[in-house]
Chains A and B, each alone.
Chain A
């Protein structure tokens, strides 16, 4: 480059004189020259070969042209390399931004929004359990002067008085003791944002409101038994019972916990069920209650309530014993509600061929004991009458004709011998007599005695009876529309059709009339059951379990509702203690409220045709 520049300078005068020729030569050389030479290399070669002072040789115009062209090309090449390097750097940076940019957005925006424990929602997305940073009230004595000797601006007594104004339920003595002790610690685990602001406004540096992770149940007591609870060790939350335990893996896995886990529960229906059950239970002064609403086609539990209940946000010592879910663990002989199932088995097996045939309704002597009807309605009853009047004797005779093996098989098919198949734990194992059954066991089992099951067992069996005959285990997971839990056929479709008619008849003219009155237009069908509790091996005459199992709308059953009251009493509000007086109105009121929410329209015109049996009941009711 330097030698080239020098040569270029020495030839400056000649060059200017020969500019027109240079331009012409250049244009010629463009047409003729094959490749450029390197004049400074050539001159250096000459100089080294001659061992003498180089003699300036006037450079010819083509040589000069070639040299200049060469220089220009070198510069262009150099610039091209620089630009290529720049472009390469830019490309690398674009690639890096593209690759790393996505990663950084992952880190920056998605992770902080993924809760440390997943959310549980109802079937419509209403949150039932959430984890979020909540405020707490913490006493940090060192915050004031670093030593903790004078932690407060005010006198402790004054401060306690001002705190009491913010938290009216605060125990003044214990807080004063904590403040006076000079040791740091939580004064309250959970405070509301406005309470945190009020504490901040006090201006006490030692009172701080740090955020801690909190598992909160926004709906409070709603579906508390279904949702369950967690154990919190300060860093992680682990499900201990209910769906919190069943879904623990999903809720804690970083890959899945961002997606809320939807339960099959409908919060509105659940609210209505709890409201009606709570009121009915108080009116009947019952010890407890269990209720469930089941979708007969999918097996989804739409609502499940148990009383007494508890507040999952603040489980007190008294509440802790109420965490058991009576729908899955209240075990009892549910009694007459099983009579329709026996009749369905009779229809299915061909034991009952003509529904208007008269059956002997006189007392049954079996195993040295005599069984008679609760209310005498005559010596002979048809099957519709037997169900409407809840006849023990006719059902026992149907059971006897059906035989031990077939009745036993039916109860096995309906899952009465094993704990109910559902996601939540805490299900009790039924007390179920082993085969072979004696005539006494068979006939007693025909009207729902001699074996102990839970209300959910009953709801599953009713769903199978009215949905066309398919038995499905219940589920608390939301089932996608069009899908359903796989099931097995237990009853023929024709049997199911006939049972819808009979159950509607019972509610229209029999022991379930109160449910019909409360839910006009919803075509409710069902059966009551009031069974004495077995206390120390003897049936109590005063303590009963009153159950009403229903389905609606009976022209195309979609939901089964079972409500059981544990030891209801006869009160001023409830003229009796049987299911007719307490459980049936609860179910009726619930269906009236929840039916429209579930898409069932009340209709005063449409109904199941029961006219072929109504004449049988007219004379006796």
Chain B
């Protein structure tokens, strides 16, 4: 019994030592693995930074000061701010909110779309620009028969995407049925 205990103890110590060695080896390996991952990540970062630099350079070249000036002349038409567009202190800021006097010029009003007109536009039927006849989208004919419904359910989204006509609110049959619209 005593012998067994001593042996066990020996084996135990040996096993513990082996375990420590194994743990140490595993730790070393995992440390190296992490380090390699870090190096790999660094390489990816470097590659991405270089790509970013390339893209940034391209953006800068395409949006150079000369190009911006050309666009501004042709399309944008921005001009430098005038002196009367600045506010001098609090008094001028407060004066912005003062009600208009009797002889004051009418304030500038911005053009806007009438809400009723927009609704009217939405109710209009879509017509073909070539023939002038109303267009019926595949998705809108979905409720006619079972085969059509099946087809539309299966390929409705694809048909809408593939169609050269892009309505603003193109929907599939399923979406239409839940909406309750025609």
Q: Which residues of A contact B (CB under 8 A)?
A: 8-9, 12, 15-16, 75, 79, 82-83, 86, 89-90, 93, 97, 101, 104-105, 108-109, 112-113, 126-127, 130, 132-133, 192-193, 216, 218-222, 267-268, 270-272, 274-275, 520-521, 592-593, 595-596, 601-605
Known A-B contacts A86-B20, A133-B50, A603-B86; A126 and B66 likewise in contact (beta carbons under 8 Å): no
User: What are 10 residue pairs bridging A and B, where the CB atoms are less than 8 Å apart in the complex?
Assistant: A86-B21, A90-B24, A104-B39, A108-B39, A109-B46, A113-B49, A126-B60, A216-B61, A222-B66, A270-B65
> With the chains together, A80 CA to B80 CA distance in Å?
81
Q: Which B residue sits closest to A19, measured CB to CB?
A: B2
Contact B66 A79 (CB under 8 A): no
CB-CB under 8 A from A112, the residues of chain B are 46, 50
> With the chains together, A97 CA to B53 CA distance in Å?
32
B17 close to A (CB within 8 Å): yes
Contact B64 A520 (CB under 8 A): no
Q: Give the interface centre of B17, B21, B64, B82 by most chain A CB atoms within 10 Å.
A: B64
B31 close to A (CB within 8 Å): yes
Q: State which size class the interface on B falls in.
A: 35 or more
CB-CB under 8 A from A603, the residues of chain B are 83, 86, 88
Q: Which B residue sits closest to A135, measured CB to CB?
A: B54
Sort A-B residue pairs by CB-CB distance and give the 9 closest, nearest first.
A271-B65, A521-B83, A218-B60, A602-B83, A109-B42, A604-B83, A218-B61, A219-B64, A112-B46
CB-CB under 8 A from A104, the residues of chain B are 39
B69 close to A (CB within 8 Å): yes
Q: Which A residue sits closest to B39, measured CB to CB?
A: A108
Contact A127 B50 (CB under 8 A): no
Once A and B bind, how many residue pairs between them come within 8 Å at the CB atom? Answer: 103
Tell which of A9, A133, A220, A271 touches B61, judged by Cβ atoms closer than 8 Å.
Answer: A220
Q: Which B residue sits closest to A11, measured CB to CB?
A: B2
> With the chains together, A592 CA to B80 CA distance in Å?
7
> How many Å from the CB of B50 to the closest CB on chain A?
7
> With the chains together, A82 CA to B50 CA distance in Å?
49
B57 close to A (CB within 8 Å): yes
0/1 string, B38-55, CB within 8 A of A gives 1: 010011011001100110
CB-CB under 8 A from B64, the residues of chain A are 218-220, 222
Contact B57 A130 (CB under 8 A): yes
> With the chains together, A595 CA to B80 CA distance in Å?
9
Contact B82 A602 (CB under 8 A): yes
B99 close to A (CB within 8 Å): no
> With the chains together, A109 CA to B64 CA distance in Å?
30
Known A-B contacts A218-B60, A602-B82, A603-B83; A75 and B13 likewise in contact (beta carbons under 8 Å): yes
B3 close to A (CB within 8 Å): yes
Q: Which A residue sits closest to B38, measured CB to CB?
A: A105
> How many Å from the CB of A181 to the closest CB on chain B?
32
Tell which of B3, B17, B45 touches A12, judged by Cβ atoms closer than 8 Å.
Answer: B3
Contact B17 A79 (CB under 8 A): yes
> How many Å from the CB of A307 to the closest CB on chain B?
13
> How many Å from the CB of B165 to the closest CB on chain A?
30
Q: Which residues of B contact A (CB under 8 A)?
A: 1-3, 6, 13, 17, 20-21, 24, 28, 31, 35, 39, 42-43, 45-46, 49-50, 53-54, 56-58, 60-61, 64-66, 68-69, 80-84, 86, 88
> With the chains together, A521 CA to B80 CA distance in Å?
12
> With the chains together, A274 CA to B61 CA distance in Å?
17
Q: A112-B50, A192-B58 are in contact. List 10 more A-B contacts (CB 8 A).
A: A9-B3, A79-B17, A82-B17, A86-B21, A112-B46, A127-B57, A127-B60, A130-B53, A222-B65, A596-B81
> With the chains together, A605 CA to B13 CA distance in Å?
94
> How many Å from the CB of A233 to the closest CB on chain B?
22
> How many Å from the CB of B26 to the closest CB on chain A?
13
CB-CB under 8 A from B84, the residues of chain A are 604
Q: Give the interface centre of A216, A595, A605 by most chain B CB atoms within 10 Å.
A: A216
Tell which of A75, A130, A521, A605 touches B82, judged by Cβ atoms closer than 8 Å.
Answer: A521
> With the chains together, A127 CA to B52 CA distance in Å?
14
Contact A602 B81 (CB under 8 A): yes
CB-CB under 8 A from A133, the residues of chain B are 50, 54
CB-CB under 8 A from A219, the residues of chain B are 60-61, 64-66
Tell which of A79, A89, A97, A108 touches B31, judged by Cβ atoms closer than 8 Å.
Answer: A97
Known A-B contacts A15-B2, A86-B24, A113-B46; A271 and B66 likewise in contact (beta carbons under 8 Å): yes
> How many Å from the CB of A520 to the closest CB on chain B?
6
Q: Which A residue sits closest to B60, measured CB to CB?
A: A218
Contact A275 B24 (CB under 8 A): no
CB-CB under 8 A from B21, the residues of chain A are 86
CB-CB under 8 A from A12, the residues of chain B are 2-3
CB-CB under 8 A from B80, the residues of chain A are 592-593, 595-596
CB-CB under 8 A from A593, the residues of chain B are 80
Q: Give the interface centre of A8, A220, A593 by most chain B CB atoms within 10 Å.
A: A220
> With the chains together, A220 CA to B62 CA distance in Å?
10
